[in-house]
Structure 1
Amino acid sequence: MSIKVRVPPALTKGASGSDTLEMTAANLSELLAGLETRYPGVKKSICDEAGKLNRFINVFVNDEDIRFLGGEQYTFQDGDEVLLIPSIAGG
């Protein structure tokens, strides 16, 4: 599926280029693999040691939290807009 992906520069370690990408991915796993190809090392910023999405990374598809759409099993549709947002915490 052809999707638009917005990735904040904080996750791509300042890599040059637009923060909005056109990508082809059927699901979150394929999206993460595609991001790793485009930005080598990015998976270390967004995935745990097992390769699963870190709990502090929020993924939204068309403004809906992917957790409420089926999580990692959600199948992207043509034209979906995906946004990856790192959580911010402090104290």
Structure 2
Amino acid sequence: MPVSVRIPTILRTYTGGASEVSAEGGSLGEVLEALDASYPGIKGRVLDDEGDLRRFVNVYVGNEDVRFLDDLATATPDGAQVSIIPAVAGGC
């Protein structure tokens, strides 16, 4: 099941500059595995050493934050859009 994955600027060095790529997988975890097979190293920038989503990376399937769904087990139906978004912090 191919899904579209939106890649943030900071990770585009892994995708040869592509802002959007496609990957196969029925869950977010499977999609990240497929991404890493095509673009080695990208999964390590999204997941921490324990295999969980990094604290400052937000991932959406459609418009839903996967942390409020099933995390890495979140379903990624055919044609879904996955967005990887680095959290932005700052202040005065």
TM-score, scaled relative to structure 1:
0.83
The equivalent residue for 1:48 is 48
RMSD (CA atoms): 1.8
Stretches (4+) displaced over 4 A: none
The equivalent residue for 1:9 is 9
Q: Quick check: 1:70 aligned with 2:70?
A: yes
- What are the ranges of 5 or more consecutive residues in structure 1 without an aligned counterpart? none
Distance in 2 of aligned mates of 1:53 and 1:74: 12
Q: Quick check: 1:38 aligned with 2:38?
A: yes
Output the amino acid matched with 1:64: E
Residue 13 of structure 1, CA deviation: 3.1
Of 68-77 and 7-16, deviating more is 7-16
The equivalent residue for 2:61 is 61
Residue 9 of structure 1, CA deviation: 2.8
TM-score, scaled relative to structure 2:
0.82
Aligned-residue sequence identity (percent) comes to 38
The equivalent residue for 1:27 is 27
Distance in 1 of aligned mates of 2:75 and 2:42: 22
Instruction: Give 3-state SS (helix, strand or coil) of 1:85's partner.
Output: strand
- CA gap 1:70/1:14 in 2 versus in 1, 3 angstroms: closer
